[in-house]
Structure 1
Amino acid sequence: MGSSQSALNFGAGPAKLPREVLEQVQSEFLSYKKMGMSIIEMSHRSKEYMDINKNAQQAVRALLKVPDNYNILFMQGGGCGTFAAVALNLINRTGTADYAVTGTWSGKAAKEATKYGKVNLLFPKADKPGSIPDQRTWNYDPKASYVYYCDNETVDGVEFPYVPNTNGVPIVCDMSSSIMTKKVDVSKFGVIFGGAQKNIGPSGVVVVIIREDLLGNPMTVCPSVFDFTHINKENSIHNTPSTFSVYVMEKVLQWIIEKGGVEAMEKQSDEKSKLLYETMANSKSYYCCPIDANVRSRINIPFRVGGKMGNEALEAKFLEEAEKLNMFQLKGHRSVGGIRASLYNAVSLDDVTLLVKFMMEFQKQNPVNN
């Protein structure tokens, strides 16, 4: 692998973190606040960690303008654990829930929820993700406890361009790949959650933002570590949390604030994705994105090389040549194939500029006969 100093990391998660944050973490790793010990050696009930926990919560609240009637939790178990936690905490209200399955992760969430109640699919699962049916055609269950969707499908490159209208039914939204990349009206949601390992930190912690009225009715079988009501009561320190992950996340959140907040991240996200999509559009179908144009992700961008169906030999060469230039983790998810560039907050416009420069040169050096 090439020099870490110059590596361009387009991984889908764990993903690139701001270098300034990593350098700060490095400088403090052996002795946090000159205490002579690392943060990973300190008690999770120490004043030092309690301050980190509080500051991280306050940063989330400030960046997303979270209303006072919402609580912020830091959970363990990753996104998959939260798939279960959502159902364990909320489906008990009526025994049923609506799920919009638009790709891999919403599909996994719906499957997990079937263990705890009835799941109603708002529309038939597509054979191949890449679109979102018009919400006027969605088949809502009038008894649903909540409506669940994934704002941005990391694997499939599908992103919701709107917040669904659910006529007052609480919305649960997985924002793992899009959290802190755009402005969000939190008041439209019952629950927002996101794994940190894409835009806001390392793996090991999940941010959950939950409206207070949705607390207090978990299933009796809900484990304490997944019980939103209990975790809220314990201020996210029911047991030993992932202290290092929360510590790094707090620094990333402060970095976002220093860079201009969510508004600045959204502006940069739009610029990065526009540059990459325009490069594909100008390639005369040499690079092709299989996702419907109106729901293409700004964050995770899958594409094929060498034509609409892709040329696997050419894609393998593309990845090989990219790594020679220190561009890493561009291989598409194993279930999809092709190429995928993930443009999270720490990926700069300069990084994407270098990627598209390589893409244009690669096309010139490796023409195909259409």
Structure 2
Amino acid sequence: MTQRAYNFAAGPAALPESVLEQAQREMMALPGPKASILEISHRSPTFKEIIESAEKNIRTLLGISDDYAVLFLQGGGRLLFSMIPMNLLTKEQPSADYILTGTWGKAAIKEAKKLGSMKVAWDGADDKYTYTPADSDLELNPNAAFAHYTCNETIEGVQFPTEPQTGQVPLVCDASSDFMHKPLSVDRYGMIYACAQKNMGPAGVSIVVVRKDLLERSSDELGSYLNLKLHADEGSLMNTAPTFAIYVVRLVTDWLLNDIGGLEKMYAINQRKAKMLYEVLDQSGGFYEGHARQDSRSLMNVSFRLPSEELTTAFLKQSEAADLTSLAGHRSVGGVRASIYNAVPVAGVEALRDFMIDFRDKHAN
């Protein structure tokens, strides 16, 4: 078998090796149906057990009450950017607030503006999205249908240390790139959504945790797939579900529960990994320059720059040769980005840290 590199991709991203090994073992035939997960019906007893177990695991890990529905949807974050205002705006509350801390927040409001009157409650563009705002910085409308924010911006590498306070206005969170990286007080949210391919599984499924009372806003005039209430009523099986993706989510949540021991332990591991890399940045004498301000640094996406494009190119080429892969920064920011999601092992981050120190020692003036 080809030796695996340490994968620092931003998404689709690293998966736990034990999950990949189990999926490999079961690919030809699951116990019971003696057929592949790729071949069985989404309405079969075997898949019903898989999707119910995935939901149970998510509820257990996050302590989600029965006041919330847990949905498995297709279309990714971009479809949800539209589905959220479609379902949550009302005639009485036709506008919502958006907090913009990076690329994905901007993408969310761009889609939302096609469906209603959206207000920017805060925009970090003037500072090139290097930090998250304090609650006192926000210009929130107390009559908004909801307030939306992106808790971790994958590209810029900025992350909210805690959720913004929005009073009685339902808080909606795009948690795609840090979902399940630490415990979360779900009862502070109206809705949390996350596409799986960064921290929870493969591309093809998004997880939505939504307060059930908000589902009553969904209009019967919406197309069936766009209606969140219909998905909840049908247990995420209104149409053919993305069976393989949900199966892997079940395996990943099993791993979080049984191998890791829960989200408190996962959070401690993630803090340890991020500290390794940020210490290299801070102790590099300016050779490495982080994009995010120190108080807003992401535990999932470490974005930084080198002194020149020539050094950046050399860094990426040499790191690839050392089996440290997918480290190029997003084209809008440049530089280097190390995505150190849950499944990236401590050993991989240690290897990257050591490479960064060695590269700096060889090339710093």
Question: Normalising by structure 1, what TM-score?
Answer: 0.95
Residue number in structure 2 paired with 1:267: 268
Shift of 1:36: 3.2
Question: Do the aligned residues in 2 keep the contact of 1:87 with 1:113 (CA within 8 Å)?
Answer: yes
- CA–CA distance in 2 between the matches of 1:4 and 1:117? 51
Deviations 1:289-336 (A, max 9, x none): 021111111111100112xxxx11110110000011111110001111
Question: Do the aligned residues in 2 keep the contact of 1:102 with 1:150 (CA within 8 Å)?
Answer: yes
* Secondary structure, counterpart of 2:89 in structure 1: helix
Residue number in structure 1 paired with 2:52: 54
Indicate whether 1:7 and 2:8 are aligned: no
Indicate whether 1:344 and 2:309 are aligned: no
Deviations 1:329-356 (A, max 9, x none): 1000111110000010001111111001
Question: Do the aligned residues in 2 keep the contact of 1:132 with 1:295 (CA within 8 Å)?
Answer: yes
Residue number in structure 1 paired with 2:164: 164
Shift of 1:4: 4.7
Amino acid at match of 1:16: A
- CA–CA distance in 2 between the matches of 1:137 and 1:355? 36
Indicate whether 1:278 and 2:279 are aligned: yes
Amino acid at match of 2:194: G
* Secondary structure, counterpart of 1:33 in structure 2: coil
Amino acid at match of 2:298: S
* Secondary structure, counterpart of 2:77 in structure 1: helix
Residue number in structure 2 paired with 1:201: 201
**Residue segments in structure 2 that go unaligned for 5+ positions in a row:** none
Residue number in structure 1 paired with 2:302: 301
Deviations 1:67-123 (A, max 9, x none): 121110001100111111111110225100000011000111011111111101002
Deviations 1:32-83 (A, max 9, x none): 1153321111111000111111000000000000012111000110011111
Residue number in structure 1 paired with 2:122: 123
In the TM superposition, 1:128-167 aligns within 5 A as: 128-167=128-167
Residue number in structure 2 paired with 1:27: 25
Residue number in structure 1 paired with 2:63: 65
Indicate whether 1:323 and 2:310 are aligned: no
* Secondary structure, counterpart of 2:22 in structure 1: helix
- The percent identity for this pair of structures is 40
1:91 corresponds to which of 89, 92, 107: 89
- CA–CA distance in 1 between the matches of 2:72 and 2:109? 22
- CA–CA distance in 1 between the matches of 2:19 and 2:2? 15
Shift of 1:124: 3.8
- CA–CA distance in 2 between the matches of 1:6 and 1:233? 42
Deviations 1:191-236 (A, max 9, x none): 0111111111001000000111101222455322121100000100
Indicate whether 1:105 and 2:104 are aligned: yes
Amino acid at match of 2:281: M
- CA–CA distance in 1 between the matches of 2:286 and 2:348? 23
- CA–CA distance in 2 between the matches of 1:220 and 1:44? 25
Shift of 1:251: 0.4
Shift of 1:241: 1.1
Amino acid at match of 1:340: R
Question: Do the aligned residues in 2 keep the contact of 1:195 with 1:203 (CA within 8 Å)?
Answer: yes
* Secondary structure, counterpart of 1:48 in structure 2: helix
Question: Do the aligned residues in 2 keep the contact of 1:154 with 1:300 (CA within 8 Å)?
Answer: yes
Residue number in structure 2 paired with 1:43: 41
Amino acid at match of 2:133: P
* Secondary structure, counterpart of 2:334 in structure 1: coil
Shift of 1:133: 2.9
* Secondary structure, counterpart of 1:89 in structure 2: helix
- CA–CA distance in 2 between the matches of 1:356 and 1:121? 38
- CA–CA distance in 2 between the matches of 1:280 and 1:238? 48
Question: Do the aligned residues in 2 keep the contact of 1:75 with 1:226 (CA within 8 Å)?
Answer: no
Question: Do the aligned residues in 2 keep the contact of 1:97 with 1:146 (CA within 8 Å)?
Answer: yes
- CA–CA distance in 1 between the matches of 2:328 and 2:40? 38
Residue number in structure 1 paired with 2:231: 231
* Secondary structure, counterpart of 2:356 in structure 1: helix
* Secondary structure, counterpart of 2:236 in structure 1: coil
Please identify, of 33-42 and 159-168, the stretch whose mean Cα deviation from structure 2 is larger. 33-42
* Secondary structure, counterpart of 1:172 in structure 2: strand
Residue number in structure 2 paired with 1:183: 183
Deviations 1:123-175 (A, max 9, x none): 24513111223321311123200010000001111100111111111000011
Residue number in structure 2 paired with 1:364: 361
Amino acid at match of 2:197: Q
- CA–CA distance in 2 between the matches of 1:18 and 1:295? 27
RMSD: 1.3
Amino acid at match of 2:317: E
Indicate whether 1:213 and 2:210 are aligned: no
Amino acid at match of 2:238: H
- CA–CA distance in 2 between the matches of 1:345 and 1:20? 13
- Alignment length (residue pairs): 362
Please identify, of 218-227 and 356-365, the stretch whose mean Cα deviation from structure 2 is larger. 218-227
Please identify, of 123-132 and 262-271, the stretch whose mean Cα deviation from structure 2 is larger. 123-132
